[in-house]
Amino acid sequence: MPAILGLSAFYHDSAAALMVDGQVIAAAQEERFTRKKHDPDFPANAIQYCLQESGLTEADIDYVGFYDKPFMKFERL
């Protein structure tokens, strides 16, 4: 039962999504918790939401994926 946490961070609209056995279990945008439109910060609240919805803990996550190479954005500054 591989559990994969997908992240989008450090750009506009940060978010987290959790898949287990190829099925999306939970997903959320960070702005829903911070009430900061297009929140670019690390999606800690969205991650916590996904874990709570799934009943999993951080130790249960097998892989973490990013949509992009977020640190490349910092190199452009």
Catalytic residues: 12
- What is the 3-state composition of the chain as percent helix, strand, coil, each rounded to the nearest 5? 30, 30, 40
What are the strands of the beta sheet with 23-29, ordered from one edge? 23-29, 15-20, 3-8, 63-66
